[in-house]
Amino acid sequence: MGFFSEIKEDVVGFVRDPTDEQKALFVAVVVMAIADRALWWIDFPFVVRTTAAVGIGFLGLFVASYLLTGQFVPPDGDADEEEYVDEMDP
């Protein structure tokens, strides 16, 4: 029951008070669906249509992210400025 209760909490949180990231992802999904249907009416092949729709969705994601946050990548408030350490290098 823990898995389904977490999904329920996520959906309720998205509907009641979505974060900027959730809003941007929602816009990307809607843009992908619209682009896919528009390319379907033009009669592009399936692979071309879906690949183009995903690409257009990413563009929609970047535009929505920029409009919501003022920059293309949302800020990572918890990131600390540590030096990168490669765990695979002995």
The two three-digit tokens of residue 62, written as one number = 């970047």
Residues 49-83 pLDDT 10s: 999 999 999 999 989 888 888 876 655 666 666 67
The answer to whether position 64 is within a domain reads yes
3-state secondary structure of 61: helix
The answer to whether position 5 is within a domain reads no
The answer to whether position 8 is within a domain reads no
The answer to whether position 86 is within a domain reads no
The answer to whether position 87 is within a domain reads no
The answer to whether position 43 is within a domain reads yes
The number of folded domains in the chain is: 1
The per-residue pLDDT of the chain, averaged, comes to: 83
The two three-digit tokens of residue 83, written as one number = 């030096």
Q: Give residue 47's domain range.
A: 19-69
The answer to whether position 1 is within a domain reads no
Q: Is the pTM for the entire model greater than 0.85? A: no
Q: What is the CA radius of gyration of the chain?
A: 18
